[in-house]
A and B are shown apart, each in its own frame.
Chain A
Amino acid sequence: MTWRLAAEALATRGDTLALRGLTRSMSYRVLAGRGQAVADLLVAAGVKAGDRVALLSGGRGHDEAVGLLGILSSGAVVVPLDAGHPPARWARIADGCRAVVTDESGARKAPPLPRVELDAEGFVLGAHGDVEEEGAGEPDLTAVLHTSGSTGSPKAVPIATRGLDAFTAWMIQLVGLEPGTRVLRVAELGFDLAWFDHLATFRAGGTLCTLPRRSMASGRSLREGVEALRPEVIYGVPSFFQRLVDAGYGFDGVRVICFAGEVYPLPELRRLVQQCEARLFNLFGPTETNVCTHHEVQPSDLERDELPIGIACVYADCALVNQRGETIEGDGLGELVVAGPTALGGRCATRDRVERRGDLFWFRGRLDRMVKIRGYRVDPGEVEAALHGQPGVTGAAVVVSEHPRLGQVLIAHVESTVVDGRGIRKALAAELPPYMVPERVIHHDALPRTSTGKLDYRALEGPREESSR
């Protein structure tokens, strides 16, 4: 039978710690009880199996795990809303949701849906409103995540229950998760990395260790918080581990580190290896397929200048396809196409350029314009569409630039009758997630174009200091 997170099964873990914070912890018995209370209220409000229910946790408290468990125990599909994103984006993402589960701080700005409101410990404060119409349910799904889309709208990515079953079973084995294993919670639920933190940990009976949002902000608070939680397993983006290394974290007791989301620069990886004795895994795969290849970092890798993405995961059938759509046998370079339960049972063309050499896959860039900003994927087309919606803007081109302190940042070049970079950034911040708001807006009377009239992106790349924000 396909595994799916449910309160009933978690209750049998009894007094084992499910959630650990800097000040409060929660046993599986209590987590299951509070999650079931949320599920009962959702069902009473008219939520049916396969209905979408939004989840918004403003404070990063234990309410998020309780809400997640409650929504899934009711048979509904979770649609996570990121507390750091503007309410206008929540409204677009929650379109089609039948209800929302939120904490007190989220409730003030949450989309107008029937809601269950929790305190920071996941205790129900109140339930308001009933689901009015019936909808077409999606009973095979656990979640719908939203990433940056090229069309100017958030792209909805359905996450199949069967895919998470295969992924979490495999990860539990890879990482050696056991009852009581402490796993650090890193990513937010809208990001696929977080589904290891929550689902694999709860499936194995491990303890999910959470830092408050403000402790995540600066180096020393982050280091002291992580030291206090003493995690054994951490799964995050490379920039998160770079911050831990910079902050002087000693990785005491950490036995497995998994990273994904962007390429780990080799000099940075060498610094990490010098500070820790953990096994290191490079995990690879777009949100649409979850992790599809993996590689355990070997000492010999550190002497090279790039890291392979490794071999296919047991549940993922990974093939390379050339421009004519033919499968490449043996060594070669093509588009990675993934089949299996994490790809909704179908075939997913990832738009990732991948090379196979011998036994290993190597990442060779994207076939579209998608870029990674601190591990988050951004389609510059979505940012350009938002720029086109601003008054006076007649042309927009978004490119990536390397900032010495901030890393990869987005630079917007706009052709506009009004010169107001600050106003444009504020308007975009009200619509887009923070990582999609360009660091700088550079005004042009006319954007550079090629002889055929297309935007000349190449002419816009590289540093330029002459214009103001």
Chain B
Amino acid sequence: MNSNVPSPSRTEIQRSLAAHLTDEVLLRDEPLDENEDLFDAGFDSMSLSRLLVFVEERFGVVIPDEDVVIDDITTLADMTTFVAGYCK
């Protein structure tokens, strides 16, 4: 990221991931609980690609699909921690 721009806070990352997941990826009205299982909510390989495209555009970081280990990332909270690691 550009060094003049402060890194986004964890809250900010989680809020934008949550909004993107419900409105654009999972396409539902109920808000996503941070501990809800994403895969039970219909998250799949296409969802992951869509989310990574969004993260790239929104936060300016590139995360290859292969870096995502889904045994470690099953919830919005996990996903936030993971993305925050790239936004430092």
- Chain A residues positioned under 8 Å from B68 (CB to CB): 218-220
Distance in Å from the Cβ of B9 to the closest Cβ of chain A?
Answer: 25
Contact between A437 and B49, CB atoms less than 8 A apart: no
Q: How far is the CA of A214 from the CA of B38 in the complex (A)?
A: 9
Contact between A218 and B45, CB atoms less than 8 A apart: yes
- Chain B residues positioned under 8 Å from A422 (CB to CB): 23-24
Contact between B27 and A426, CB atoms less than 8 A apart: yes
Q: How far is the CA of A426 from the CA of B22 in the complex (A)?
A: 9
Q: How far is the CA of A216 from the CA of B70 in the complex (A)?
A: 10
User: Which B residues, 1 to 33, have Cβ-Cβ distances below 8 Å to chain A?
Assistant: 23-24, 27-29
Measured CB to CB, the nearest residue on chain A to B23 is A422
Q: Binary interface profile of B, 52-71, with partner A (CB < 8 Å = 1, else 0)?
A: 11000000000011111111
The size of the chain B interface, using a CB distance under 8 A, is 27
Q: Binary interface profile of B, 34-47, with partner A (CB < 8 Å = 1, else 0)?
A: 00000110111111
Distance in Å from the Cβ of B71 to the closest Cβ of chain A?
Answer: 6
Measured CB to CB, the nearest residue on chain A to B69 is A220
Known: A243-B45, A426-B27, A437-B27. A214 touches B70 (CB 8 A): yes
User: Which A residues, 389 to 438, have Cβ-Cβ distances below 8 Å to chain B?
Assistant: 405-406, 422, 425-426, 428-430, 434-435, 437
Verify if A388 is at the interface (C-beta below 8 Å from B). no
Binding site for A on B (CB under 8 A): 23-24, 27-29, 39-40, 42-50, 52-53, 64-71, 74
Binding site for B on A (CB under 8 A): 84, 105, 213-223, 243, 246-248, 374, 405-406, 422, 425-426, 428-430, 434-435, 437, 469
Distance in Å from the Cβ of B17 to the closest Cβ of chain A?
Answer: 16
Q: How far is the CA of A469 from the CA of B24 in the complex (A)?
A: 9
Measured CB to CB, the nearest residue on chain B to A422 is B23
Measured CB to CB, the nearest residue on chain A to B40 is A105
Distance in Å from the Cβ of B69 to the closest Cβ of chain A?
Answer: 5
Measured CB to CB, the nearest residue on chain A to B22 is A426
Our count of residue pairs bridging A and B at CB distance below 8 angstroms stands at: 72
Known: A218-B65, A218-B68. A213 touches B39 (CB 8 A): yes
Distance in Å from the Cβ of A197 to the closest Cβ of chain B?
Answer: 18
Q: How far is the CA of A453 from the CA of B64 in the complex (A)?
A: 46
Measured CB to CB, the nearest residue on chain B to A437 is B27
Distance in Å from the Cβ of B46 to the closest Cβ of chain A?
Answer: 7
Q: How far is the CA of A246 from the CA of B48 in the complex (A)?
A: 15
Known: A406-B50, A426-B29, A437-B27. A217 touches B42 (CB 8 A): no
Q: How far is the CA of A178 from the CA of B3 in the complex (A)?
A: 60
Q: How far is the CA of A213 from the CA of B44 in the complex (A)?
A: 8
Q: How far is the CA of A221 from the CA of B27 in the complex (A)?
A: 25
Measured CB to CB, the nearest residue on chain A to B42 is A84
Contact between B65 and A246, CB atoms less than 8 A apart: yes
- Chain B residues positioned under 8 Å from A437 (CB to CB): 27
Known: A216-B45, A429-B27, A437-B27. A221 touches B69 (CB 8 A): yes
Q: How far is the CA of A219 from the CA of B49 in the complex (A)?
A: 10
Cβ contacts A to B, 14 pairs, < 8 Å: A105-B40, A213-B44, A214-B70, A217-B48, A217-B70, A220-B68, A221-B70, A406-B46, A422-B24, A425-B24, A426-B23, A426-B28, A429-B27, A429-B28
